[in-house]
Amino acid sequence: MTTPASLALRTKLTPTTPVLRAATVALWRPDGLRQRYLRYLAAMHPLVRASVPLLERAAERCAELDDPPSRRLAAYYTRHAEEERDHDSWLLDDLAAAGAAPAAVPPPVVVELAGAQYYRIEHEHPVTLLGYIAVLEGNAPGPRLAGRLADVTGLPQGAFRTLREHAELDGGHLDDLHRVLDELALTPARQTAVSVSALHTTSLLTRLFVSLAADPGGHP
């Protein structure tokens, strides 16, 4: 029996989980957390700001290909773009509530995270964006994280909207992605392309979190 594409992707990502989890634990450790959290918000803003344009461009590329799987994928990307719209403004509100401002220049690793997807959409296949989304939404904040960070940092509850909302939303989004991935009946080559995109995204996200955890200032 053929292994579902979503299960194959999760299996390939399993060996990377401990490293990313360790980076996440270090990021949210109590000492120095207030400043690290502000830096986290500033780094995540440009990443989230890129989400809707990436999804819209992927949908456009799918429409250009105009085959049944691409049409199914275009519908998913268009729907998901609407689900993600204005989430970057949540981060601006979080920063304002915390008395901070967005970074003037995006961290280089954030540019790499989004930029790699533009390359893959344009020069490989727009299905590769599924690997990127699977990693970001598969590593969403837990439901109790926002409350714990508020207690430790002393920041107002208004500084944690993005964490609270994504803890609630991303599990359902990930289930939707897995359904779409399984319905597409991808060729082995396309499945590999999705997996490579996901593994690259995991590596860069880990690098971002390690940098944020290690250094209270400067760029990752």
Helices (H), the chain: 5-13, 17-27, 33-49, 51-65, 68-84, 87-97, 108-123, 129-138, 145-153, 161-183, 188-214
- Tens of pLDDT along 86-117? 999 999 999 999 999 998 899 999 999 999 99
Mean pLDDT value of segment 31-39 = 95
pLDDT confidence tier of residue 199, bands split at 50, 70 and 90? very high
- Tens of pLDDT along 146-157? 999 999 999 999
Mean pLDDT value of segment 39-61 = 96
The model's pTM is 0.93
pLDDT confidence tier of residue 218, bands split at 50, 70 and 90? very low
Per-residue pLDDT, 142? 86
- Tens of pLDDT along 60-85? 999 999 788 899 999 999 999 999 99
Mean pLDDT value of segment 167-176 = 76
The whole-chain average pLDDT of the chain stands at: 92
Q: Among the listed ranges 22-36, 57-71, 168-182, which one has the minimum average pLDDT value?
A: 168-182
Mean pLDDT value of segment 30-43 = 95
Bigger pLDDT: 2 vs 75: 75
Cβ count within 10 A of residue 8:
19
Nearest-angstrom CA–CA distance, 146 and 167: 9
